[in-house]
Amino acid sequence: MTILLLTVALTGCNSGSTTTTLETEKPAIEQLMKDYFEASQTLDYRTWTGETELQYTTPELSQQLKETFPGYKTSFTEKQLVEKLDSLVIDEISLKTEATGYVVCLVQASGEESGTPFTQKSKYFLEIQKTDGKWLISKYAVQ
């Protein structure tokens, strides 16, 4: 009995103090979403490089995004696109494991394309992953 109690004490098996919960991770995930969408939805064709959003993505997603940047830069320049984030609503956060989960966000951005004002609303489904203690976006889809 003493050995069992000592083993439990040494391994940290107690009432869940080491368990990652949505409640403890939610503020960091919400901040990730705010920072990512502020970076990715704020652009000006004259200065846009795409680099500002990469710090919020996994290395794999960063590489995939970098490969698309030349095409986006050409398109943004042709359309003289200027855009800013108007609102972000985090609709759902769910953890699959202590280091993976997903987030559903509703995003509204506005700006000008070829001199014509626009407002755009999009729904994003983002997969997240905790790497080295930091939440990052590993994949996303726009619905």
Task: Say what the pTM is.
Answer: 0.84
Per residue in 30-63, pLDDT (tens digit) is: 999 999 999 999 999 999 999 999 999 999 999 9
Q: Is the pLDDT of residue 104 over 90?
A: yes
Which amino acid does the sequence have at 59?
P
Start-end of H helices in the chain: 2-11, 22-41, 51-54, 59-79
Question: CATH code for 21-142?
Answer: 3.10.450.50
Cβ–Cβ under 8 Å, residues 50 and 66: yes
Q: For residues 17 and 12, what is the distance between their CA atoms, to the nearest angstrom?
A: 8
Say which residues have a Cβ less than 8 Å from residue 122's Cβ, sequence separation at least 6. Answer: 106, 107, 108, 109, 142, 143
